[in-house]
Chain A
């Protein structure tokens, strides 16, 4: 029954939307996710712009719908290895990495993690918080199952002993499964540009210099600080915060000449959230062009200026210097409107890195036989009229793996639904 079966690669919000739309329409969906839980980037965010909805609160029900849907089979902690065949009949090999925990038995109670003696930084919290070697990346993870990180596990066996459900199986082996599907949807999302590539900023050297995704985790009530906005060097509440736009975006040095489309918007949102968290903290946003397009957004920026007193400076800062004693950061910049070169000190500086293709995007494209564009994003068959088809018939793409043409969450969702329509269009004809 390949005709009525679809493989979706990537369990972020666009992949989830495509899964739910197709499953509700009667298609059998295999949703493959590389990490232990679906949810993707949206799960990492604190709140979403411009409505300030709690990101997890609106995403979690969709994640759960996915796991409950009779037509969706989740293959988490899995990777697509080989794809053969053509539209209407693809043969896919999926590697199920061993999570060393039986998903069907694990209740996610977390008692094993309480006893695990190994602590390592949690990737989900952008390394700001800690997790154990047996862990669930975040409390609302779907499936609700623990995973053993074998690279850090010391094989003490405590988790196995403590588990009341008998779910831990440290001898689990990797397994390959073969799937026969009629169409494939790619929704693997994005990575962040590595700011260490701009040495004059000093990311990685200065503790109070963080990325915007790290800030999301710091602001989030279920994040590593319980939602307390504190700076990494001394745990104090920062009183002067700066955001720097276009870190890697619109930058010919790194080939990332595009605008990442979301940074201006989330920075204004974060600035407003910071002012709500800490009314005495001043926020300055360094920008080149303030790109507040999209529904409700100009109005939101107006409010950020007039109600919340967020300050905007048109500048792309040149250098950041740390005060060795206070660990404060001085930003050197040219205020292009005032026509002055200045230096201002901040307690915490947030970099807004470009959104770049996933590290493994090219490899996956090769497996699928699909083309990528000059940046490494999946190439659309026709950017005007066929925006969610890849260059391979029967293989579609949605979400940020298509590049910055996906502005934000609603765009990702629309594309998810649009790929569902394309799949139905193509397969109903077969």
Chain B
């Protein structure tokens, strides 16, 4: 095709009145016919209709078109449709070009009819200039191995492994600890059903060990990851022994860990009866609280919602106390901690409060909170706690409660009631700190090996926070459970199943087509400086024999390497310098 004279067909869409009501479409058609290499131009009421698509296919055949341009709306929504029409008429779909004269013209210039028509001509002229230089491209097909690696043997990792194994895929389940179970091992009971954690954990572990498709590797870590979607080469390490496996997809279920306050914060580590909520779980589970306490005080958001300086909003505070409180608040030392809300701590505190009340009905349990974030149906769980006489007190969060020890070993918590503004001195036997789930330290190393970015909150980052919550920016790598942020058990299970669903698509199809829009190195020009390898965020470039090479499957087509290359040895396929320069030149040329 490269040698052939370009014969461009231009299809200009009225889009009902969307474009036709503003742009003089017949005039643009007439203009398009005068442009170099344009062999055919026509207008359609709706180019995307069956009739419109049929006329593209017909024109490709009858007018021997070897380039097609549709001037209409956005490629985001309609390019696939027009590309497939070209393919059906045996025209390589990379020889299709779209000119957006709706969003970028008629919609924004709805009241400037003449100027809009002129701009539509400019846009079409630019598209024609670029189309002249288009070349056919092939989308390479990749083989996908139909086995998976799940990193992390907590409830999320085990669920993901079982979900995949049940569909017939071989799974390697890697856990760094000597046994499966993760965080749930330390928990006593689960809200809101109050089931014993073991009731859920044990059957799951049994199912994993009984499943022949799952190879469980405990006391094992991932020490290296190479390759790309469908063809990862992963090195696993166990007691210094290394083993390499080849797998198709990876699910990261490395979980999160409970934040332990630094010694001295809320007197944690100073007084033995100041514990974290997770430690309280363990104490309750092991029956370590034998003597009925007179009072237990739980403090929410210890180390959570703290990393940033929160705005001190005094609008609501009682006028009489404001001045006194403001002085105190401004003096208050900023607590160490994490900026986000960990989401599960309110429910966890309520759960332990109910458990304490069940065991010791006479014990006074007070929860000091900023907001009670018991979302979902957990509201009913919160009501249950209040019916059980658990007391909830909104305190002024900006002032860190002070904890002092009385001579006989009791503690006193000093805090401010947000509703009355008054100081409260509350003697108690236990202070329980609700601390957030935070990212694991290993996560950073994993993220680097897997080339997944980390979000601002320190957890692994999704491909899109809203629309692709279990995908990562790396094809073939997915996120399950608390690796991407705090989650409770049902949320972890749902995300694990979702990650398994996404991974199974690749493995069930056994192959995938990758984008043709990748970087291409001209070895003649390449001086092997390695700048491209350095700048590539995806590890798509490597040097061999002093020349750069591209791993097409890893390349995302961002073009950073092409911009960086001092010898212009790198070309972005489908976005070549010639194509872009022709388009720029056309933009700067006046209408002819």
Using a CB–CB distance below 8 Å, which chain A residues touch chain B?
Answer: 21, 24-26, 48, 50-51, 53, 58, 60-62, 64, 68, 104-105, 107-111, 114, 140, 144, 164-165, 250, 257-259, 261, 289-299, 302, 305-306, 311-314, 335-339, 375, 383-385, 387-388, 403-405, 407, 409-411, 413-418, 420-422, 424-425, 428-429
Contact = CB atoms under 8 A, between A and B. Distances in A.
Given A48-B466, A289-B372, A421-B498, A257 B383 contact: yes
A295 B494 contact: no
Contacts of B467: 58, 62, 409-410, 413
A5 to B, nearest CB: 16
Contact of B494 (A21, A53, A296, A388): A388
A108 B46 contact: yes
Contacts of B200: 384-385
Interface stretch (B87-95, B501-509, B521-529, B550-558): B501-509
A53 B420 CA distance: 40
B371 A291 contact: yes
Nearest to B308: A302
Contacts of B304: 298
A227 to B, nearest CB: 13
Interface stretch (B141-149, B258-266, B373-381, B426-434): B373-381
B140 interface: no
Interface string B50-90: 11100000000000000000000000111011000000000
B371 A290 contact: yes
Contacts of B193: 383-384
A410 B469 contact: yes
B423 interface: no
Contacts of B78: 64
Contact of A295 (B80, B383, B455, B497): B455
Contact of A337 (B419, B485, B505): B419
Given A108-B46, A294-B343, A428-B166, A25 B505 contact: yes
A339 B422 CA distance: 12
Contact of A298 (B340, B455, B466): B340
B457 interface: yes
Q: Taking each of A261, A417, A420, which has the highest tally of chain B beta carbons within 10 Å of its own beta carbon? A: A417
Given A291-B375, A295-B455, A108 B81 contact: no
B320 to A, nearest CB: 10
A261 to B, nearest CB: 4
**7 A-B pairs closest in CB distance:** A417-B498, A337-B316, A109-B16, A421-B501, A107-B49, A418-B497, A410-B469
Contact of B376 (A104, A292, A295, A405): A405
Given A258-B379, A261-B376, A409-B466, A302 B494 contact: no
A259 B494 contact: no
Contacts of B209: none
Contact of B49 (A58, A165, A335, A338): A165
Contacts of B371: 289-292
B341 A415 contact: no
Given A384-B193, A414-B470, A295 B465 contact: yes
A387 B313 contact: no
Contacts of B383: 257
B376 A403 contact: yes
Interface of B: 14-17, 45-46, 48-52, 76-78, 80-81, 163, 166-168, 190, 192-193, 195, 200, 304-305, 308, 310-311, 313, 315-319, 339-341, 343, 371-380, 383, 394, 418-420, 455-457, 459, 462, 464-470, 484-485, 489-491, 493-495, 497-502, 504-505, 508-509
A60 B80 CA distance: 13
B375 A68 contact: no
Contacts of B376: 258-259, 261, 403-405, 407
A297 B455 CA distance: 13
Contacts of A407: 375-376
Given A257-B383, A414-B470, A428 B168 contact: yes
Contacts of A291: 371, 373, 375
Q: Taking each of A295, A388, A422, which has the highest tally of chain B beta carbons within 10 Å of its own beta carbon? A: A295
Contact of A58 (B455, B466, B504): B466
Given A24-B505, A384-B490, A289 B373 contact: yes
B493 A259 contact: no
Contacts of B166: 425, 428-429
A21 B502 CA distance: 7
Nearest to A48: B466
A240 to B, nearest CB: 15
Contacts of A64: 77-78, 80
A415 B495 CA distance: 8
Q: Taking each of B379, B394, B420, which has the highest tally of chain A beta carbons within 10 Å of its own beta carbon? A: B379
B17 A110 contact: yes
A108 B469 CA distance: 33
A44 B380 CA distance: 30
Contacts of A164: 45
Nearest to B392: A289
A336 B45 contact: no
Contacts of A297: 340-341
A354 B419 CA distance: 26
A336 to B, nearest CB: 6
Contact of A388 (B315, B380, B470, B497): B497
Given A107-B46, A417-B502, A410 B466 contact: yes
Contacts of B464: 58
B379 A259 contact: yes
A314 B419 CA distance: 10
Contacts of B502: 21, 417
Contacts of B81: 68
Nearest to B471: A417
A348 to B, nearest CB: 20
A385 B49 CA distance: 47
Contact of B457 (A58, A107, A295, A428): A295
B316 A425 contact: no
A74 to B, nearest CB: 15
A185 to B, nearest CB: 12
A164 B45 CA distance: 10
A114 B21 CA distance: 13
Contacts of B375: 259, 261, 291, 293, 404, 407
A293 B343 contact: yes
A418 B501 contact: yes
B504 A421 contact: yes
Contacts of B489: 384-385
A375 B14 CA distance: 49
A210 B57 CA distance: 50
Contact of B163 (A68, A306, A409, A421): A421
B419 A302 contact: no
A109 B20 CA distance: 11
Contacts of B48: 107, 144
Contacts of B80: 64, 68
A410 B504 CA distance: 19
Contacts of B462: 410
